[in-house]
């Protein structure tokens, strides 16, 4: 809770921050938007700004037993789930016509919560899929099955999906990606630290336990085969760092030339079964992976592949089968990998399922209840202000040539903004939902989504489609659309505080907006132009300077090590770190511009500039279980929250002045080592 209390903390010239006297002036009657009770002013801001802003909360807060991590995002996500539950339960308690939105939402929720029916059926819903696997006789059949399984949501070593064409964003394209692993990332199969070794020892035992619960034979020997095969697939995966280089990975191959890449693979059967035989080419992302996969597919016995596929379907659908499989799945993926002590309540898991399969049906009601029109108006103004600040910053960059600058400004002028909810809601009429068939509901919804994409493949791109639901606590940028999205659920405190002075909002939601705009100019986004076309719009000299500056940022983040044997991967997290640095830098500039030369008031003992930084740091208020923190570092392109706060602010010159940061402070960077990109 954010309190508009009398001033509790202020900053002295140096050393420990002390509490000021109360009764400063009438400005103290305004709400700063700073959660003063969460601060630990015994920590010097220049040593650990994250702890200075959030330290009391960190010390006093326990992570809930059903969470792997907990913080501002999690609190809002839980609240959004509670709000959605109330919407769903209205539908679940009524008697609505078949095919109506209310019937689908209510019956999907009921089918998840009906554990008695789920337990009675056990793994019998898998029988048709298991029969398809049993019918595979050779490697040509295997390729056809890969395509068929993809349609139903069982993603094996060859994943295909639809997106806009990076080289022609006005048309859709089908992409093929590396996949096929049961552990979160390729490094889990090869890392030699003690934790990774223990996970690899536990994983086959988990597979064997799942086989036993499902009534599959030879679970122990099958688990060994499966892990060996996954390890070989993992060895073919290109690294996550290399996978981020989309220009290098984009390789559109005409269908009749796919066998040049994988000569032993039945591409003809695959594309026919996938329903894409009439497209003019398939984009192979990570071509070296597919070249190596060819031998893996051909050299692995069909019976081994069958064991792998039985595991694939069992693992994919474990959470919507019976209670025993659901719990064993949690034991490994929840407890072992993430450290979570308890499963989320069944109703929360049911809400997640409804949000995933019928999200915009619920979203329509959610925004009516929880998103006031004035919030959208305020956000439009904020986005406009942030774009103007970016424009000013780009015009004043001293490292960029006029030629590249003109291209950057053109891109900025073409940003599209999605706020709150989509103008056109998604049509779910093709999805059939039954009250007593959770497994079937999931499969039918998955197939309907696949068929929806196939049906539009040759038509115009739908620019009204949103990447996330209104009830999602997140924000995003899509380089191929050059658009930024801010769902309704994130537009709440601590990100967006209606009642607070403007400074904290520029540091919080302003930095989030700046972050997402910044993705248009990060290591990946900067390879797309304002029309969403992947092309090089840089001069060679400017690109080299960009990479020199971002290289310094990589080195900074490589130095953050929460464990003795594991540090942040600066290269993998570069795009998000650029976004964070741009977010707070441009949020601060936008705040200064909004003052129009006026001096902002001191509120709760803090100047306006200080409140911008404080607002920024408090949105990263977060705690992690050790297992979850390890998994985040190994698999997530975002840095852990404490480094998102500290790592960005130490590169911003105004931070040093605002909090009197000197050379003796831990966050101090000499001016020549501070990174400014945008």
Query: Are the beta carbons of 151 and 454 closer than 8 angstroms?
Result: no
Structure tokens at 445: 């919804």
Whether 100 has a pLDDT exceeding 50, the answer reads yes
Alpha-carbon distance 604 to 588, whole Å?
19
Give residue 24's pLDDT band: very low, low, confident or very high (50, 70, 90): very low
Structure tokens at 341: 């002590």
Please spell the DSSP secondary structure of 526-565, one letter per residue: GGB-TTS-B---S-HHHHHHHHHHHHHHHHHHHT--SBTT
Strands (E), 120-266: 158-165, 168-178, 252-253
For the chain, domain boundaries: 1-61+499-678, 124-320
Query: Are the beta carbons of 385 and 590 closer than 8 angstroms?
Result: yes
Q: At a CB cut-off of 8 Å and minimum separation 6, what does 471 contact? A: 80, 83, 84, 355, 359, 362, 363, 366, 487, 488, 489
> 135: helix, coil or strand?
coil
Whether 116 has a pLDDT exceeding 70, the answer reads yes
Alpha-carbon distance 203 to 196, whole Å?
10
Cα pseudo-dihedral 212, 214, 219, 222, rounded to 10? -170
Give residue 302's pLDDT band: very low, low, confident or very high (50, 70, 90): very high
What pLDDT sits at residue 10? 23
What pLDDT sits at residue 11? 23
Average pLDDT, the chain: 94
What pLDDT sits at residue 15? 29
Strands (E), 184-233: none
Alpha-carbon distance 159 to 150, whole Å?
7
Whether 13 has a pLDDT exceeding 80, the answer reads no
Structure tokens at 513: 């907006």
Report the relative pairing of strands 483-487 and 416-420 from DSSP bridges.
parallel
User: Quick one: which of 577, 525, 530, 527 has its CA closest to 550?
Assistant: 577
What pLDDT sits at residue 1? 23
Alpha-carbon distance 532 to 167, whole Å?
8
Whether 49 has a pLDDT exceeding 80, the answer reads yes
Give residue 630's pLDDT band: very low, low, confident or very high (50, 70, 90): very high
> 165: helix, coil or strand?
strand
Whether 406 has a pLDDT exceeding 90, the answer reads yes
Give residue 94's pLDDT band: very low, low, confident or very high (50, 70, 90): confident
Long-range contacts of 392-395 (CB under 8 A, 24+ apart): 392/589, 392/593, 393/585, 393/586, 393/589, 393/678, 394/678
What pLDDT sits at residue 498? 85
Query: Are the beta carbons of 410 and 530 closer than 8 angstroms?
Result: yes
- Is it true that domain 124-320 has CATH number 1.10.1380.10? yes
Report the relative pairing of strands 622-624 and 69-71 from DSSP bridges.
antiparallel
Alpha-carbon distance 417 to 411, whole Å?
13
Query: In the chain, how long is the greatest CA-to-CA distance?
Result: 83
Which residues partner with 407 through β-bridges?
none
Structure tokens at 391: 């424009």
Sign of CA pseudo-dihedral 112, 115, 116, 121: positive
Query: Do you find a cis peptide bond into 63, omega within 30 degrees of 0?
Result: no
In tens, the pLDDT along 216-238 reads 999 999 999 999 999 999 999 99
Please indicate, yes or no, whether the overall pTM of this predicted structure exceeds 0.95.
no
Mean pLDDT calculated for residue range 368-394? 94
Percent residues over pLDDT 90 in the chain: 93
Helix (H) or strand (E) holding 417: strand 416-420
What pLDDT sits at residue 30? 61
- Is it true that domain 1-61+499-678 has CATH number 3.40.390.10? yes
Alpha-carbon distance 562 to 96, whole Å?
53
Using the 8-state DSSP alphabet, how is residue 602 labeled?
P
In tens, the pLDDT along 442-458 reads 999 999 999 999 999 98
> 418: helix, coil or strand?
strand
> 83: helix, coil or strand?
helix
Report the relative pairing of strands 622-624 and 416-420 from DSSP bridges.
unpaired
Cα pseudo-dihedral 472, 476, 478, 484, rounded to 10? 100
> 393: helix, coil or strand?
helix
What pLDDT sits at residue 641? 98
What separation, in Å, do the N-terminal and C-terminal C-alpha atoms of the chain show? 33
User: Quick one: which of 287, 258, 256, 261 has its CA closest to 178?
Assistant: 287
Mean pLDDT calculated for residue range 525-544? 97
């Amino acid at each position: 809770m954010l309190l508009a209390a009398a001033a509790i903390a202020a900053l002295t010239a140096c050393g420990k921050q002390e509490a000021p006297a109360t009764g400063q002036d009438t400005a103290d009657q305004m709400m700063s938007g700073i959660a003063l009770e969460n601060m630990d002013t015994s920590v010097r801001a220049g040593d650990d700004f994250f702890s200075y802003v959030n330290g009391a909360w960190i010390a006093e807060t326990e992570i809930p037993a059903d969470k792997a991590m907990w913080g501002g995002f999690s609190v809002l996500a839980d609240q959004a789930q509670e709000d959605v539950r109330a919407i769903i339960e209205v539908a679940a308690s009524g008697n609505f016509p078949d095919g109506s939105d209310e019937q689908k939402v209510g019956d999907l929720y009921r089918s998840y919560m009906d554990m008695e029916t789920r337990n009675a059926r056990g793994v019998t819903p898998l029988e048709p899929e298991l029969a398809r696997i049993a019918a595979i006789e050779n490697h040509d059949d295997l390729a056809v099955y890969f395509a068929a399984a993809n349609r139903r949501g069982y993603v094996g070593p060859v994943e295909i999906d639809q997106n806009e064409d990076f080289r022609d964003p006005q048309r859709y394209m089908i992409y093929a990606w590396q996949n096929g692993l049961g552990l979160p990332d390729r490094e889990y199969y090869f890392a030699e630290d003690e934790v990774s070794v223990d996970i690899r020892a536990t994983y086959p035992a988990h597979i064997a336990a799942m086989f036993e619960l499902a009534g599959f034979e030879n679970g122990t020997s099958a688990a060994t085969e499966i892990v060996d095969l996954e390890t070989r697939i993992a060895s073919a995966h290109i690294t996550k760092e290399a996978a981020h280089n989309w220009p290098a990975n984009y390789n559109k191959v005409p269908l009749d030339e796919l066998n040049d890449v994988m000569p032993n693979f039945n591409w003809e059967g695959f594309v026919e079964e996938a329903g894409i035989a009439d497209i003019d080419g398939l984009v192979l992302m990570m071509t070296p992976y597919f070249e190596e996969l060819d031998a893996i597919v051909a050299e692995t016995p069909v019976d081994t592949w069958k064991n792998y596929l039985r595991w694939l379907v069992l693992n994919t659908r474990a959470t919507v089968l019976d209670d025993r499989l659901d719990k064993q799945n949690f034991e490994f993926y929840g407890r072992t990998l993430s450290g979570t002590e308890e499963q989320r309540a069944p109703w929360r898991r049911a809400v997640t399922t409804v949000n995933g399969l019928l999200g915009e049906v619920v979203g329509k009601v959610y925004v009516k209840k929880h998103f006031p029109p004035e919030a959208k108006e305020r956000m439009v103004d904020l986005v406009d202000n942030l774009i103007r600040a970016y424009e000013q910053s780009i015009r004043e960059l001293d490292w960029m040539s006029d030629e590249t600058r003109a291209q950057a400004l053109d891109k900025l002028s073409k940003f599209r903004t999605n706020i709150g909810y989509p103008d056109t809601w998604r049509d779910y009429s093709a999805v059939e939902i039954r009250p007593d068939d959770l497994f079937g509901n999931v499969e039918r919804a998955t197939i309907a989504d696949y068929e929806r994409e196939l049906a539009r493949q040759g038509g115009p791109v739908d620019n009204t489609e949103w990447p996330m639901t209104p009830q999602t606590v997140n924000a995003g940028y899509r380089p191929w659309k050059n658009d930024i999205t801010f769902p309704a659920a994130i537009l709440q405190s601590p990100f967006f505080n209606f009642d607070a002075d403007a400074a904290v909002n520029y540091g919080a939601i302003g930095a989030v907006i700046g972050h997402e705009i910044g993705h248009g100019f990060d290591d990946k986004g900067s390879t797309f132009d304002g029309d969403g076309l992947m092309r090089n719009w840089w001069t060679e000299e400017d690109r080299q300077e960009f990479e020199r500056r971002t290289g310094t940022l990589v080195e900074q983040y490589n130095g953050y090590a929460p464990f003795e044997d594991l540090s942040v991967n600066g290269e993998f997290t570069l795009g998000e770190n650029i976004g964070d640095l741009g977010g707070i830098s441009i949020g601060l500039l936008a705040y200064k511009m909004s003052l129009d030369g006026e001096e902002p008031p001191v509120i709760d003992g803090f100047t306006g500039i200080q409140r911008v930084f404080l607002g920024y740091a408090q949105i990263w208020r977060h705690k992690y279980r050790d297992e979850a923190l390890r998994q985040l570092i190994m698999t997530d392109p975002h840095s852990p929250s404490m480094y998102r706060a500290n790592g960005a602010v130490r590169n911003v010159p105004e931070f040093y002045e605002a909090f009197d940061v000197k050379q003796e402070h831990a966050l101090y960077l000499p001016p020549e080592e501070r990174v400014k990109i945008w």
